[in-house]
Structure 1
Amino acid sequence: MAAGRFAGWLRASRFGMFCVAIGVGVGAGFGAIGFRYLIYGFTWLATGHNEFGQDGWVGSAHLPWLGIGFFVLIPVVGGLLYGPLIYRFAREARGHGVPEVMIAVAENGGRIRPQVSVVKALASALCIGVGGSVGREGPIVQIGSALASSLGQWVRMPENRLRVLVACGAAGGISATFNAPITGVFFGVELILREFSVEAIFTVMLSSMLADVIARVFLGSAPFFTQLPADIALHHIADYLLVALLAVLAALIGLLFKNVLYAIEDLCDRVWGGRPEWARPAVGGVVLGLLLLAVPQLYGVGYPVMYQAFAGHYGLWFLVLLAAGKMIATSLTIGIGGSGGVFAPSLFVGATSGMAFGVISDHVFGPVAGQPALYAIVGMGAVFASAARAPLTSLASVVEMTGDFTLTLPVMLGIAVASLVSRAISYGTIYTTKLLRRGTDIERATPTHAFEDLTAADAMHRFAVPLDIVSNGKPAAANGHHDWTGLLGPVTRVREPQAVFGNDSLAQALRQLVRYGRDGLPVIDTDARRVQGWLTNQNVLRAVATQLADAEPKISAGQRAAEWADPNAGQAEHDLNTELDGYRIVERTLAEDSAAVGRTIGELDWPDRYLPVSVLHDRRLSEADPAHRLAAGDRISVLVPIPDEPGDVDADRATRPWASR
C-alpha cells in the first residue's frame, strides 16, 4: 500500500517527476561511464590498446604474428559475437539507435523495452572494439533512454511524462559522454522530445547536470577536445565569407553522408537478402576488414585520428581520403548489421573536410585566412547540423567540446548556413530518413498530437461522487444485500475491469480501451484510491474532435525491400495491469418482461455503490444518461462492488469470504 501511494505521488506531482528525473540522471551518468569502459575493455581485448591511434600501433599487440591481417580477422570474430546477440534479444539495438528512440517518443508513448539497454551496450561496445567505424554517442542515447523508460514504466508514469523522461535519459547520456551538459539538454529536447516546454526543459536540465557531475568524478572535467592548437581565431572580418562558403560545402557533405549511409544499407540488404541475419555482421566483416586494412585510421570511433588532423599531421589529399573513407566505413558497418552511432562519424567527416578546406584557404590567402584548425572546428558543427538538422545541439556541442567560446560566432554562422542549405535541398535528416523509409513521418503534424495534449480526465464522463476503491484495506462491499436480478434481467457477462489513470494521455487511454474497454473503462486517480469517472470510445472521439481542428496526413514513404529488424521489435506491451480492485463490470441485457423496460435509468432503484456506466441501444454505445429510457434488448453495463449480486455467482462467492457478510 505504501509503495503504491509513493508511486502515485511520483506520477501526480511535479516534485515527484523531478525525483524520477534525478534517478534517470544518475543512471545515465553511470551508464555512460560503464559503456565507455566497456568499449575500452573490448578494444583492449582485440588490440592491446584502449583506443586506435595510441602510440601509432598497427595490428594486435596480443597476436603480433597476425600482422596487418588482424584488420580482416577481428571484425569477423566480433560479428560472430554481436550478430546473434542482437538478433536473439533486441533487434532494435541494430544500427545507430537514435531513430528508435525518436519513434518510441513520437508514437509509442516513450516505451522502450528494458533489455535494449543491456543488448545495445554489449553489441555496440563489441562492434566498436573490433573495428566498427561508428560512434558511441548514438548507443549511449539509446542506453540512457531505455533506462529512463524502464524506470518510468516501473512507476507507471503517464505517457506525457514518460516521453520527457526518455529525453532526460538521452540528455544524460550525451552530457556524461562529452562532458557537455548544455549539449545534452539541446539533444534531448531538440532531437528526442522535439518540443519545447518550461517543465520539460527544467526536467531535462536536471538529468543532464547530474549525469555530467557523476561523469566528471570518474572521467575528469576537461573539455572533450583538449589537444587543439593555440590561438584559433578569425583575424579578419572578410574571413567570415570563407566560413560561409565552408558552411555551404559542409551542408552538401552532410547530405552526401546521409545518402551514402542509406544507399549502402540498401545495397547490403539486396546482397544479403534471404540469408540468416544473425550471420550478416560476420560475413560483412570481411569487407569491412579489407577497408580497414587499406585505411587503418578508420578503425573504431576515431577521436585520436581527429586530434592528429587538428594538429596538422595529415596532408590535403589524405584528409579528403579520411572524410570519404569515414562515410563509407560507417555506412558499411551499419549496413552489415553493426551497432553504433553516426554523431561521432559526422564530427569526424566535418573535422577532416573542414581541415582540408582550411589547408586550401591557407595556400590561397596565406596567414590572413587563419589557422586551418579553425575551419576544422566549424566543419564539425556544420556537417552535423546539415545531417541532423539540429542547430542548437550542433552549436552547443562544438563550443562545449572545445571549451573555446571565442569560436561561437564563426561556428554559429557555419551552422546557420549549413542548416538553411540542408533544409532547402532535403526533407529528411540522417535520423528521420530511417523512419520515413518505414512509412513514418514524425516531422509532420498528425492527430496524435491532439491525443497527447488531452488526458483521460479531460474526456471521461465524471461521476457526481467519486467511488472509493478500498475501505480499511479491504475491497469495497455493498451495504446490505439487494436483489436487483428482477429489475434488469439475467446477467449477460461478468468481467474484471481494467482501469486508466486520470492523467494518462488519451493515446494511452485509447490503447487500453481497444484492449479491454468493450463498453468503456473506469478512470481512477493517480493514487489508485478512487474511481473518478467512466471513459468510452465515444468520449475519446468527442474530446479529440473538439481539440483537433485540422490534421495533416502522414507521409507514406516506400517500404524497404528487406527490413532486417523485426517490425514489432521494441514495441513494449501496453498492458499496464491496472486492474480495478474491489469492483466488477456486470452487463445485463433487458428482456421483454424486465421491470426496467420503459423506465429511465434515473428512475431505477439502484443499490448503494452500484453505478450504471454505459448503455448499448440500437447498436449504439452511449453514456448511462439518467434520462435515457430503457427498451427491451438494451445492454446496460453497471460498475458494482464485490461481492457480486447475491445468488448470481455462487461459485465465485464461495471463494470470497467477504461475499456473504
Structure 2
Amino acid sequence: MWRFSNQNKAWKRKALVLLLQFYRKTRNFGIFAPEFIKLTLQKFLISLNLNQDVPFLFVAIAVGWGTGLIAVIFHDLIDFVHFIFFGSLKGSFELTGLGEYWMFLIPILPAAGGLIVGLYNTYIAKSKPGHGLAAVIKAVAQNEGKLPRWDWLHRTFTSVISIGTGGGGGREAPIAQVGAIIGSMVGQILRFSPDRMRTLLGCGAAAGLASVFNAPIGGVMFAIEVILGDFTVKTFSPIVVASVIGTVVSRSFLGNSPTFQSPDYTLVSNIELIFYFILGVLSGFSAVAFIKVFYIIEEKFIELRERHTLPPWAIPAIGGLLTGVIGIWFPGVFGYTYEVIDKAVKGTESWTNLIGVYVFKPITAGLTIGSGGSGGTFAPAMKMGAMLGGMFGSLVHFIFPTFTATSGAYALVGMGAVTAGVMRAPLTVILILFEVTGKYEIVLPIMFAAVTATLIARVSYRHSMETYVLEKEGVRVGYGIALSVAENISILEVLRTNFVQFSEVTRAEKIINIFHNTSDTTYFVTNEAGGFRGVITLDEMRLLLSEGMIAGLIAEDFCNKEVPVLYETSRLDEALKYFEIGDYDALPVVSKKTNKLIGIVKHDTAFAYYRRQLKFYSEDGTSFK
C-alpha cells in the first residue's frame, strides 16, 4: 500500500493552511467578493474623510437603481404577457371573422394565469400564498429587516403572470415588495446592522413605488408611513436618494408623463369642501367594505385549501376563472389597465361601469390574491375610489352645477381617499396624487377627503389591509416595532438606577462642571422629596453655555419639564413609541403613587433588549422562552 512520505505530509498541511486562509477571506462576502476588496474600499472611503453616512448613501443609490431597473422590466413584461394572452386571441378571432365572440373566452385567460402561478408556487418556489407588504412590515418589526433573498425573483414572475393574464391585483405593491427584498438582500450580503437593514428595505420599497407612479416624494412617504413607521431623520436621507434614483431610471425608459391624465382642476367654491368631506366619509366606509369583502373571500379559499378537496396548485385557477367571468362585462376590474380610472377622472365613464367596477373590484381582488394568485391591493383600492368619486361627483354636479367641479375632480379625490382608508396612509396618498397629477389645487380637497376617510375607517374597523393578516398571525405592529412582543415586556426589565441626578436647587456652575466630566447627555432633576421635576439635555446645556451670565441660575430655572413620563406599570412598547417619535436619549420612570423618580430607561438599552427578546418569539409571535 502506498503511504505519504514526510514531504507529502508537509505539502498536505501547507495546502490545508492555504485553503483555510482562502475560506476565511471569502466566507463573509462569497468567492467573488473577498475580504480584501472590502478593506480596500473602506480605506478609500476613509481617505476621502467623508461622514460615515455618505458611503451608506452609495449603497442606497445602488438599491434605488436596481429596483428602478426591475420596475421597468416588470412593467414591460406585464404588457408583453397581456399582449400574448389577450392581443393574440383577439387578433386570431378578428382574422376569422368571429371578433365579437372572443370575449366569451376571456375567463380562460386569467384561469390559465392562475394555473401557472399555482404550479410555480407549488413546485418551483415551494411557497404558500401570502401578502407581500404584510411580510415586509413583519420583517421590519420582528426580523431585523431580513427577507428571503431570492423571493424577489419568485414575486416578479408570479405577479407578471397573474396581472398580465387578467388577474384582479395591482402592480404597485408587488414592485414595492420586490424593491424591499432587494434592499434587504443587499443589506444581508454586506452584513449591515439591523437598523441599516431596515433602512435599505425602506429604500427598496420607496424606489419601487416611486418607479411605478413616477412619484419620488410619494415613494418616500410610503416607505416611512406604511413600511417602516419611522419618521426619524437618520432613515430619511437614504430613502430619498433611493426613491429619486428609482424614479430617474424609470423615467429614462418609460417617459415622464403623469400616471393619470387628469383635466385642469380648480376649487370652484369653498363650499365644495363640504362635499369633499362627505366624499371622505363615504370613502372611509367603502375602504372598510373593501377590506372585509377581500378577507371574507380569502378565508373561503383558505378553507377550501385546508379541506384538501383540490390540489393547491389548482385553486388560483378557480379564482382566475371567476375573475374572468366578471371581466366579460366589466373589463375595468382587470389589473393590467388603468383605463377605467382615466375615463372616470375625465368624466367620460358610463354609470354602468362606475357601479360595476365599484362593486366588483374588491371581489376580483379577493378572488385573484385570496386564491393564491399574485398582485397588490393598492390599484384595486384606487379603482374602487375613482368609481365612488365619479358617481358622487356626477350627482353633486347635477344638483349644484354652479359651485361644484365636474365629476372627474371627485373621481380623482375619491381614488385617493379610499386608498388612504384601505392603507391607513393619508400622507402617502396626498403626495402621490399631487405628483401624478402635477396640480397643486388638488392638495386641499384630497387632504380633506383622505384624512377624513382614514379617521372614519380607523374608527369603524381597527384593521388596515396589512395589519389584518398580521394580527391574524399574532403579530401587532406599529412605529416600526412588533407591539405584540414589546407590550409583553415590563419597563422594569430595562430600568437603570445609575444616572446623573440633580436637585432642583443645584447651581448652574456645578451642572456645567459635571457636564464636562461625564459622558451622559441627559440629566434628571428632582425636588427635595425625590419627586421628578424635569430633565436637562444637550439642548439646555447649549443654551446655558451660550449665555454670558449664569450666576444665580439653578437647575429648576432651565430644566425641561415637558417630557414624557413612564411609570413602573408601563410596558416597553410605550417607551419604544416615544423613542421613535421623539428625539429622546433617556426617559424617566416615576412612581405613580409618590411621583418619585425610581429610575430611567435609555434609548439604546431599550431597543437592544427588545431585539434580544425578538429571538425568543416564534414566527407567529408567541413566546417560547
TM-score strictly above 0.5: yes
Q: What's the offset of the Cα at 1:186?
A: 0.3
Which residue number in structure 2 is paired with residue 493 of structure 1? none
Which amino acid in 2 is paired with 1:438? E
> Residues of 2 paired with 1:200 and 1:33: CA distance?
26
Q: Calculate the aligned-residue CA RMSD, in Å.
A: 2.9
Within-5 A mapping of 1:436-585: 436-443=471-478, 445=483, 547=606
Q: Structure 2: how far apart are the matches of 1:93 and 1:123?
A: 12
Q: Find out whether 1:127 has 2:151 as its counterpart.
A: no
Instruction: Please name the residue that 2:595 is paired with.
Output: none
1:308 corresponds, among 325, 340, 343, to 343
Matched-pair contact (CA < 8 Å) for 2:386–2:414: yes
Deviation at 1:67, TM superposition (A): 1.3
Residue by residue over 1:354-396, the C-alpha shift from the partner in whole angstroms, topping out at 9 and shown as x without a partner, is 0100011012112322111111111111101111111110111
Q: 2:218 aligns with which of 171, 183, 188?
A: 183
2:72: which partner in 1?
33
Render the CA deviation track for 1:554-599: whole Å, top value 9, x for unaligned: 9xxxxxxxxxxxx979xxxxxxxxxxxxxxxxxxxxxxxxxxxxxx
Q: Output the CA distance in 1 between the equivalents of 2:40 and 2:279.
A: 55
Instruction: Sort the Cα spacing of 1:447 and 1:350 in 2 relative to 1 into closer, same or farther, 3 A.
Output: same
- Partner Cα distance (1:172, 1:308) in 2: 28
| Alpha-carbon distance in 2 for matches of 1:548, 1:129 | 43
Do the aligned partners of residues 168 and 450 (structure 1) sit closer, same or farther apart at CA in structure 2, a change above 3 Å counting?
farther
Amino acid at match of 2:36: A
Matches within 5 A, 1:356-505: 356-443=391-478, 445=483
Provide, for residues 41-67 of structure 1, a one-character-per-residue CA deviation record: whole Å limited to 9, x for no partner.
111111128xxxxxxxxx632455561
Q: What CA deviation, in whole Å up to 9, does each residue of 1:592-624 have, x standing for no partner?
A: xxxxxxxxxxxxxxxxxxxxxxxxxxxxxxxxx
AA aligned opposite 1:27: G
Alpha-carbon distance change, 92 to 342 in structure 1, aligned in 2, over 3 angstroms: farther
C-alpha offsets along residues 209-230 of structure 1, whole Å, 9 cap, x if unaligned?
111111111111122112x223
Tell me which residue corresponds to 2:300.
267
Q: What is the rounded CA distance, in whole Å, between the counterparts of 1:370 and 1:327 in structure 2? A: 28
State how far apart, in whole Å, the 1-side matches of 2:40 and 2:287 are. 48
Residues of 1 paired with 2:179 and 2:38: CA distance?
Answer: 26
Q: Percent identity, aligned pairs only?
A: 32
**C-alpha separation between the residues in 1 aligned to 2:103 and 2:277?**
42
Q: What code does the residue aligned with 1:137 have?
A: E
Counterpart in the other structure of 1:291 = 326
1:221 maps to a residue whose letter is N
CA contact (8 A) 2:146 2:184 kept: yes
Which shows bigger deviation, 61-70 or 280-289? 61-70
Does residue 1:60 correspond to 2:90, yes or no?
Answer: yes
Partner of 2:283: 250
TM superposition shift of 1:318: 3.2
Give the equivalent residue in structure 1 for 2:30. Answer: none
Query: What is the CA distance between 1:409 and its match in structure 2?
Result: 0.6
Deviation at 1:315, TM superposition (A): 3.0
Structure 2 residue aligned with 1:229: 263
> 1:349, CA displacement in angstroms?
0.7
Distance 1:424 1:229 in 2: 34
**Amino acid corresponding to residue 300 of structure 2 in structure 1:** L
Q: Secondary structure at the match of 1:134?
A: coil
Q: Deviations over 1:223-281 (max 9, x none)?
A: 2112x223x22211111100100100000001110111101101122234323212211
Which residue matches 2:365? 330
Could you tell me which of 39, 44, 52 is aligned with 1:5?
39
Residue 160 of structure 1, CA deviation: 1.0
- Structure 1 residues 63 and 205: CA distance shift in structure 2, 3 A: same
Runs of 4+ in 1 over 4 A off after TM superposition: 6-12, 62-66, 446-451, 542-546, 548-551
Residue identity matched to 2:345: F
- Give the SS at the match of 1:368: coil
Query: Which residue matches 2:385?
Result: 350
Q: Distance in 2 between matches of 1:301 and 1:187?
A: 22
The question of whether the paired residues in 2 share the 8 Å contact of 1:93 and 1:339 is answered with no
Check if 1:197 corresponds to 2:236: no
Give me the whole-angstrom Cα distance separating, in 2, the residues matched to 1:295 and 1:545: 54
Match among 16, 19, 27 for residue 58 of structure 2: 19
Q: Which amino acid aligns with 1:547?
A: A
For 1:135 and 1:96, how far apart are their aligned partners in 2?
13
> Which of 122, 144, 148 is the aligned partner of 1:109?
144
Q: Give the whole-Å Cα distance in 2 for the aligned partners of 1:438 and 1:7.
A: 43
| C-alpha displacement of 1:183 | 0.5
Distance, in Å, in 2 between the alignment partners of 1:313 and 1:18 is 45
2:85 aligned residue: 46
Of 399-408 and 177-186, more deviation after overlay is shown by 399-408
Aligned residue for 1:412, secondary structure, equals helix
Counterpart Cα distance in 1 of 2:472 and 2:235: 29
Is the Cα contact below 8 Å between 2:82 and 2:336 reproduced in 1?
no
Separation of aligned partners in 1, 2:122 and 2:206: 27
Q: 1:190: Cα distance to partner? A: 0.8
Whole-angstrom CA distance in 2 between matches of 1:307 and 1:202: 34
Choose 144-153 or 4-13, whichever is displaced more. 4-13
CA deviation profile, 1:438-497 (whole Å, cap 9, x unmatched):
11111363555999xxxxxx9xxxxxxxxxxxxxxxxxxxxxxxxxxxxxxxxxxxxxxx
Q: Which residue of 2 aligns with 1:240?
A: 273
Structure 1 residue runs without a partner (length 5+) = 50-58, 452-457, 459-541, 555-566, 570-661
Q: Structure 1 residue 87 and structure 2 residue 133: aligned?
A: no
From the two aligned structures, give the one with the greater helix fraction.
2
**Cα distance in 1, alignment partners of residues 40 and 68 from structure 2:** 25
The answer on 1:159 being equivalent to 2:194 is yes
Any conservation in 2 of the 1:75–1:132 contact (CA below 8 Å)?
Answer: yes
CA distance in 2, matches of 1:107, 1:92: 20
Note closer, same or farther for the CA distance 1:124–1:547 as it changes in structure 2 (3 Å cut): closer
Size of the aligned set, in residue pairs, is: 455
Q: Which is worse superposed, 278-287 or 60-69?
A: 60-69
1:418 deviates by: 1.2
- Aligned partner letter, 1:61: G
| Counterpart residue type for residue 39 of structure 2 | R
